Structure 1
Amino acid sequence: MRDFVSESAKRLEASPIRAILDRAAALRASGKDVIPFSAGEPDFPTPEPIKQAAMKAIADNYSHYASNRGLPALRKILSRMIETSTSVSYDPESEILITSSGAEALNNSLLTFINPGDEVIIPTPAFVSYKNLVKFAGGTFVDVPLRAENGFQLDADEIERHITPRTKMIVLNNPNNPSGAVYERAALEKVSELAVRHDLLVISDEMYSRLVYDDAEFISMAALPGMRERTIVISGFSKSYAMTGWRLGYIAADKALTGMILKVHQYSTTCSPTFIQQGLVDSLELPETEAAVKDMLSAFTRRREAIVKGLQAIDGITPVVPKGAFYVLVDVSATGLTGADFALKLLEEFSVATVPAIGLGDSCGDYIRISYAASDENIAEGLKRLEAFMKSLKKD
């Protein structure tokens, strides 16, 4: 039989995050109590007003096609929310597009603008999807490793050194998964100057924009001079609203960009589930919904403090203190193990699921990623098991 697999599909790599999740699920099925430090999934329930409104939307027969762009009322709400949080104004009629998850938004944006041979600069460590979607589109992934000693902050000079005549786009994730870095204004301004000078597009994945800590300040790339017309902002509801399984995201960008992305969207999902959209229309701006979100944000702040303090107290590993999102990168090189070997042994021997960071950046082979989207109880137990694991390594 001939090889039927497309060259695009062959360029994809299996997600190391999913591999860990699948193995953890198998261990749970066998009776193991696995601590979930791997998935970026808040353990909170979706805010009650959203659930009730979605159920009412089903009962009210919001079960038919919506506009390809999404329900107009939801786009108007998002336009208001974006302008309030970033000062950037988008026309809800032509510059906001509802997608079935942030993942679809990323996929459609890259497929719309990347031709075979186009170079896409991605500062790493970075979410595993970026590299693979660039390759799927036929583009060339250009890795710009960031430095742990600099808190994985953006390095505009290093980015500039990687720009060539074939460079078309820069992909940023701010706050960053997996490093927890929140990019500083000065660095973002330098990168924006590069984008304008070299006439580049920027995808700005802002899924974690509400999850910032200490003195960190989230700044949307689109808010910087000259960037609104060349920035594709991607976000959604999975992280801040604990809606990972609902699969709803959105794109905000200049109408010249969203108009083209819309065509790809039309042939991928047509439209996102209407009852979910209507449920958000009826609940997103309710005070009760915002109160539930603020409670979750407060919990993440508490959990971040607990996980960082606990990791810093364990000899032989070094956490990089995050300023945003809900992940910690941990340097395990002092153990003599790679991040991949460390994560595998920790999972198999002590039932703690983490992610080997090598899958998130070629320079991150000495790191694991820990998600503190887990419950307070799981964080406490996971830290105990991690400490016991480190003691067991010293005995070997």
Structure 2
Amino acid sequence: MGKGIRAGFSRRLRWGAPQNRLARAVEARRRAGLPLLDLTESNPTRAGLRYPAELLGPLADPRSLVYEPAPAGLPEAREAIASWYLARGLRVEATSILVTASTSEAYGFLFKLLADPGDEVLVPRPSYPLFEFLAALEGLRFSQYRLVYDGRWSVDFDALARAIGPRTRVVVAVNPNNPTGSFLTEAETAKLQSLCAARGLALISDEVFSDYGFAECAGGRVRSLAGGSEALTFCLGGLSKAAGLPQMKLAWMAIGGPAAEARRAREALELIADTYLSVSTPVQHALVRLLEAGGYVRRQIAERTAANLAWLKAAGTKLLEPEGGWYVILPGPSGRSEE
């Protein structure tokens, strides 16, 4: 019997990223069951936080026994998210909100909507490494624009303008950025929106950490781009950070910009979402109470990050000043490789 022809895999999966020595050492220690202090831990459910037992109660809503497909999300879930924005001083119509199972899924939907294979996505550097993989899975090219540090992080707009090419379709901003913890200023926001509008680019504002700003850095920060923009804009959020509940698998995007463009985007995104219908009914029915009760978890995280930052400063640790988020960058010797 012949061996036949082996099935091939998509070139999208040819990342060729072997683990470095540190990752291998961490994996070996975990396999051996040895204790591990991971200063990069980003899973709030493993960080010793207190979760109120009543968080689970709303998931038992008997309405969840009936399946009602709603590609953009159940109306009550979208209203809950609109109320969440309103509590932060932002007016977003529930009809402008689309619910997804994760922000990663939201990126996948948006890349499908905005770009064809071979088109380009621009993301900040430094930023979240997952962007490269999310773009590759949609057959898109991945490029970066610089953030520069001079006492605070800021967008290098000259570098951003140079990075825009004939196949650039999307600019991603992360606000506050991960891992720099930097918020966009009002001036940066206006310039970014004007640039995208002038060049016909969509703007994605990843705002999952927007609730985590340090009070001493409050002046001049823009917490969210939701509620109006001259460019077609998609603002992302989710339970993972808003309530410290990544396991509940619910995120969202708020769609803004010129009315006609935003309407067409909503209609197309609803069609994309209708092919997946990935968000569970129970978590949507529970969303109002999860966002309310999640405030208790969010306050713990905010207190923890503020205390950790104060401890680092009191110890005289050299760091690149964050304005928010969960992380802080400690500079090492320049020129050293990851190894």
Q: Same fold (TM over 0.5)?
A: yes
Q: Which residue in the other structure is 2:72 paired with?
A: 69
Whether the 8 Å CA contact 1:155–1:187 is kept in 2: the answer is no
- Give the root-mean-square deviation of aligned CA atoms: 2.7
Matched, 1:232 2:240: no
Which residue of structure 2 lines up, in the alignment, with residue 331 of structure 1? Answer: 331
Question: Helix, strand or coil for the counterpart of 2:12?
Answer: helix
How many angstroms does 1:34 deviate by?
A: 0.6
Deviation per CA, 1:336-365: give whole Å up to 9, x if none. Answer: 743x22xxxxxxxxxxxxxxxxxxxxxxxx
Aligned to 1:143, the other structure's residue is in SS state strand
Q: Percentage identity across aligned positions?
A: 23
> 4+ residue stretches of structure 1 with deviation over 4 A?
12-17, 19-23
Q: Give the alignment partner of residue 277 of structure 1, picking from 257, 275, 284.
A: 284
Q: Gaps spanning 5+ residues in structure 2: where?
A: 256-261
Contact 2:181–2:328 (Cα < 8 Å) also in 1: yes
| TM-score (norm. length: structure 2) | 0.84
Q: How far did residue 25 of structure 1 move?
A: 5.1
Separation of aligned partners in 2, 1:15 and 1:88: 45
Aligned residue pairs total 322
Alignment partner of 1:293 is 2:298: yes
Tell me the TM-score normalised to structure 1 length: 0.73
Residues 203-352 of structure 1: matches in 2 within 5 Å?
203-213=204-214, 214-216=216-218, 217-223=221-227, 225-227=229-231, 230-253=232-255, 254-268=262-276, 270-285=277-292, 289-310=294-315, 312-313=316-317, 318-333=318-333, 337-338=336-337, 340-341=338-339
Counterpart amino acid of residue 322 in structure 1: P
Does the 8 Å CA contact 1:192/1:221 hold for their aligned counterparts? no
Q: Aligned match of 2:83 in 62, 80, 84? A: 80
Following superposition, the deviation at residue 74 of structure 1 comes to: 1.3
Please state whether the residue corresponding to 1:36 is helix, strand or coil.
coil
Residue 329 of structure 2 aligns to a residue in which SS? strand
Partner residue of 1:151?
152
SS of equivalent to 1:329: coil
Give unmatched runs, 5+ long, in structure 1: 342-396
Q: Call closer, same or farther: CA 1:330–1:21 in 2, change over 3 Å.
A: same
**Per-residue deviation at 1:127?**
1.0
Deviation (angstroms), 1:332:
1.5
Deviation at 1:308, TM superposition (A): 4.5
1:106-145 deviation digits (Å, cap 9, x = unpaired): 1221122111232222121111122222232222222112
Q: Secondary structure at the match of 1:328?
A: coil
The letter for the 2-side match of 1:6 is S
How has the CA–CA distance of structure 1 residues 223 and 280 changed in structure 2, closer, same or farther, with 3 Å as cutoff? closer
Cα distance in 2, alignment partners of residues 276 and 21 from structure 1: 34
Q: Distance in 2 between matches of 1:297 and 1:100?
A: 24
